[in-house]
């Protein structure tokens, strides 16, 4: 993240973890908690989720989100939606009220509207900062082959800012959610890892709740969230599994990103192989937030 946005990221993740904790403190479920945490970040234009997301090469916002319940393995996901302020709300409706798992584009928007979620105009999700970011990127692309071929999109220094949350409730159930606007200047219709079960998001009480951020294509190829959860199921601690996932991502496909992991015993892990990643934690005994973790 740019130096001048570090404090905004810390404030954003603090608000998100507070929103999730409020749900848990009142006896709410882990699914409710991750939904509220994600909504807080979708509404904060600091992040690449909801309003303020990166623009695709046509100057439009296209959003993806997934939410998953570790107790039941039920999940709901949306992809390539353009008229939802909070795609995680639609994902939650799918989890709770649909026999299906995944809706995309107009079908997802139609499902959301039929279930009481207001639609917006795509212009409502676009902010001046991202119009300028796209203009600058496309100007660079016309001058440099390394940008034109798309490789610049996937350097560790390139902002991604996908948001995620994991939670454990008083009943011992875990949940995970991930939401994103994808990568800057992406092709229309491109889907990343964030909303795909086992790639950018996964939750199972028997292993772990996981959410990832970063370069989506390598994360998808490794089904990284499920890979990480499987390491926890095999008896490894979430902290080790998180760090090992980032090593695996880099060594196998030269990928980069970040990951948060939580098991049903309340043990957690945070890791990233990028210069920075914003994170926040709250338990009965711990409350921390930052952009670096040793």
pLDDT per residue over 260-274, tens digit each?
999 999 999 999 999
CB 259 within 8 A of CB 246: yes
Neighbours of 280 (CB within 10 A): 23
Percent of the chain with pLDDT over 90: 87
Residue 257 lies in a domain: no
Residue 213 lies in a domain: no
Q: Is the pLDDT of residue 240 over 60?
A: yes
Confirm whether 178 is a catalytic residue.
no
Residue 285 lies in a domain: no
Indicate which residue of 162, 213, 228, 274 is catalytic. 162
Count of domains forming the chain: 1
Residue 271 lies in a domain: no
Q: What is the pLDDT of residue 64?
A: 98
Residue 25 lies in a domain: yes
Q: Is the pLDDT of residue 8 over 80?
A: yes
Average pLDDT value for residue range 32-44: 98
Q: Is the pLDDT of residue 54 over 90?
A: yes
Q: What is the pLDDT of residue 151?
A: 53
Q: Is the pLDDT of residue 142 over 70?
A: yes
Residue 48 lies in a domain: yes
Which residue in 292, 232, 242 sits closest to 270, CA to CA? 242
Neighbours of 136 (CB within 10 A): 11
Q: How far apart are CA 84 and CA 190, in angstroms?
A: 17
Q: What is the pLDDT of residue 2?
A: 81
Residue 28 lies in a domain: yes
Q: What is the pLDDT of residue 173?
A: 98
User: Residue 13 sits in which domain range?
Assistant: 3-208
Q: What is the pLDDT of residues 69-124, one digit of tens each?
A: 999 999 999 999 999 999 999 999 999 999 999 999 999 999 999 999 999 999 99
User: When comparing pLDDT for 187 and 157, which is higher?
Assistant: 187
Residue 114 lies in a domain: yes
């Amino acid at each position: 993240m740019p130096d001048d946005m570090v404090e905004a990221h810390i404030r954003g993740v603090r608000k998100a973890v507070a929103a999730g904790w409020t749900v848990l403190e009142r006896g709410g479920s882990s699914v409710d908690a991750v939904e509220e945490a994600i909504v807080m970040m979708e509404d904060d234009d600091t992040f690449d989720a909801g309003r303020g997301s990166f623009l695709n090469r046509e100057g439009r916002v296209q959003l993806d989100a997934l939410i998953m319940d570790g107790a039941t393995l039920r999940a709901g996901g949306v992809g390539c939606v353009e008229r939802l302020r909070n795609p995680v709300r639609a994902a939650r409706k799918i989890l709770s009220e649909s026999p299906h798992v995944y809706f995309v584009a107009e079908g997802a928007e139609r499902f959301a509207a039929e279930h009481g979620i207001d639609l917006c105009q795509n212009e409502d999700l676009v902010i001046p900062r991202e119009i300028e970011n796209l203009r600058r990127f496309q100007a660079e692309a016309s001058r440099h082959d390394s940008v034109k071929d798309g490789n610049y999109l996937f350097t560790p220094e390139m902002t991604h800012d996908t948001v995620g949350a994991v939670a454990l409730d008083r009943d011992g159930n875990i949940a995970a959610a991930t939401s994103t606007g994808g990568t800057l200047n992406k092709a229309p219709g491109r889907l990343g890892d964030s909303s795909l079960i086992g790639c950018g998001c996964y939750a199972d009480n028997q292993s772990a709740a996981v959410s990832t951020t970063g370069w989506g294509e390598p994360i998808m190829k490794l089904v990284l969230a499920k890979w990480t959860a499987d390491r926890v199921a095999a008896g490894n601690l979430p902290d080790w599994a998180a760090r090992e996932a980032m090593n695996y991502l880099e060594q196998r496909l030269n990928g980069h990103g970040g990951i948060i992991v939580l098991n049903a015993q309340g043990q957690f892990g945070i890791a990233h192989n990028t210069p920075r990643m914003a994170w926040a934690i709250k338990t009965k005994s711990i409350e921390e937030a930052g952009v670096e973790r040793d």
